[in-house]
Chain A
């Protein structure tokens, strides 16, 4: 029997696209078009001075950032941004790990009570708690300095001295960030079979050895993705710094980049701050943030096997 030369292919139905349509439209208008606009703006002189007659200026904004007038500001902000993300991530991971290990002690019968209290900083809306911290840390009339004063300690410039301000911001950020890490680590710890520790004890290993040879290796699969995604998230953080210090304290002559400014807060002020409204420069900054945060996310996604999932 001769096969027909042309098998009529079943036409793929179009109804799946109707399911996709609402989401795709929203993505188009809120992510893709703004993304394209950001790339375009980054190469223009769109700003308060050129609100009507703005146009293409090539790499000028990037030159300003890397070699020109904004170099000092940018490099200062960038290096603090790196330190900020690194210390915040490692700090909250460490606090989270230690607390998770304490909470994993099954002999402490009321441990769930502590866990519920300890995740409170995550449960509260951070915008509100950051503003609260700002008041508590106020140098002249904040309760913390008042309290220190009552036991004879001189007022600490929590938010008004560059070094102190950085430390305070980190402290608040770790306070916000550790419950997430703690929960993830606790989940990881609880998945380690008890028998491993029993065997370890029979072999006469001490607590540190059990930690090094059982806990850490068993947690390894979650530690790295946690740290990378934490780093990416902290790197792009805005709220903690903007609401606590607005990037300050400031050193003259720069009015835009303060001691605690991150790329995101710096960019926000370049775009919407009272002086410049330099949309082009801000967009160029945005692209740089995207390159850094994006590549970190990419690393994380390939580590956690998201791409494999798609290929299947």
Chain B
């Protein structure tokens, strides 16, 4: 096909325009979307007096806000509490889910189909709904205001979704490798721990980190179980120390930058798996 030069030129300009228009729109969106984040980063290193100034470029750079944060608040304690709760919660969830998912994927037993169905249906019951009961139960078994109570709730409520996700992953691993292990005289526990578990490790890591992110981010459940400044997780602590906003703003900015960091690092180092796994997970239910 041969076009006249003017047509070719027109096509070229059209492509050029479309690329740069796309680029422009994307840059503008990025700026709008990132505005609060940039603002926080700037506020956190600005001198105290310019806390609500309307410039986005700080005039005097200081680390005072970060130092204040460590000296005047219990931020480090909150981080520590969050670390305990999220790590233990995710580990416990892993322990409970992998064995369950493996059983649903590999073994035959009575009630398997009904069990799977119940697993799906339980996903429909968000913890939002049962919050009063969870609170009363925690009080009743004397785990109110303990990390253990929160850890148990976190791990337990996430099982149905995680187990469903992981069972699918186990299903996608060919059974032949385990079969040959059985022929070599391995038992089911060895087949699980020595073969299936390592093969499933990528998925297990993703589920583990995803749980960590969501536990770290939880305000709702933590707010009914934990009370008192010393017990707060980051999410709780951040909410309560913002109360006199004007005074604490730069310190709050510093805190939110630090509080976001671990999660951002986890998210981006695993974004390929997280984004793929979660968007697919949501589409598959």
Q: Which A residues are within 8 Å of any B CB, using their own CB?
A: 12-13, 15-17, 19-20, 22-24, 26-27, 29-35, 37-38, 41, 99, 102-103, 105, 107-108, 111, 114, 116-129, 131-136, 138, 141-143, 146-147, 149-150, 175, 180, 183-184, 187, 222, 225-226, 229, 236, 238-239, 242-243, 264, 267-268, 271-272, 279, 282-283, 286-287, 289-290, 293-294, 297-298, 300-301, 303-307, 310-311
Contact = CB atoms under 8 A, between A and B. Distances in A.
Contact of B122 (A31, A102, A138, A222): A31
B34 A117 contact: yes
A304 B284 contact: yes
A22 B98 CA distance: 10
Contacts of A37: 130, 132-133, 136-137
Contacts of B275: 119, 183, 187
Interface in B88-145: 92, 95-97, 99-100, 102-103, 107-110, 113, 115-117, 120, 122-126, 128-137
Q: Which of B26, B30, B220 has the most CB of A within 10 A?
A: B26
Contacts of A147: 54
A78 B23 CA distance: 41
Contact of B219 (A23, A111, A150, A239): A239
9 closest pairs, A vs B, by CB? A30-B156, A23-B100, A37-B133, A19-B103, A34-B133, A16-B107, A123-B267, A34-B130, A26-B156
Given A37-B136, A135-B242, A236-B129, 5 more contacts: A37-B130, A99-B29, A119-B271, A135-B252, A304-B283
23 contacts: A13-B109, A16-B108, A26-B155, A29-B137, A30-B153, A35-B125, A102-B25, A120-B33, A127-B239, A134-B242, A136-B36, A143-B52, A149-B54, A180-B279, A183-B275, A243-B239, A271-B132, A283-B132, A286-B132, A290-B125, A294-B125, A301-B123, A310-B120
Contacts of A127: 217-219, 235, 238-239
B99 A22 contact: yes
A272 B224 contact: yes
Nearest to B235: A127
Contacts of B271: 116, 119, 123
A287 B256 contact: no
B61 interface: no
A111 B30 CA distance: 12
B210 interface: no
A222 B242 CA distance: 40
B158 to A, nearest CB: 9
Contact of B54 (A30, A32, A143): A143
A107 B239 CA distance: 44
Interface string B247-262: 0010011001001100
Interface size class of B (residues with CB under 8 A): 35 or more
B36 A19 contact: no
B120 A35 contact: no
B109 to A, nearest CB: 4
Contact of B23 (A108, A138, A187): A108
Interface of B: 15, 18-19, 22-23, 25-27, 29-30, 33-34, 36-37, 39-40, 43, 52-54, 92, 95-97, 99-100, 102-103, 107-110, 113, 115-117, 120, 122-126, 128-137, 152-153, 155-157, 159-160, 163-164, 188, 192, 213, 216-220, 224, 234-235, 238-239, 242, 245-246, 249, 252-253, 256, 259-260, 263-264, 267-268, 271, 275-276, 278-280, 282-285
Given A123-B264, A311-B113, A22 B100 contact: yes
A105 B25 CA distance: 12
Contacts of A20: 99-100, 103, 115
A183 B282 CA distance: 12
A283 B133 CA distance: 8
B33 A118 contact: yes
A310 B116 contact: yes
A44 to B, nearest CB: 11
Nearest to A283: B132
Contact of A16 (B23, B26, B109, B117): B109
A118 B131 CA distance: 34
B145 to A, nearest CB: 14
A268 B131 contact: yes
Nearest to B115: A20
Contacts of A279: 132, 136
B105 to A, nearest CB: 10
B220 to A, nearest CB: 5
A107 B15 contact: yes
Contacts of B52: 141-143, 146
Contacts of B137: 29, 33-34, 37
A32 B134 CA distance: 11
B86 to A, nearest CB: 11
Contacts of A175: 33
Contact of A236 (B29, B128, B239, B267): B128
A138 B15 CA distance: 44
Contacts of A142: 52
Contact of B160 (A27, A118, A305): A27
Given A107-B15, A289-B129, A138 B245 contact: yes
B163 A23 contact: yes
A92 to B, nearest CB: 12
Contact of A29 (B103, B156, B188, B218): B156
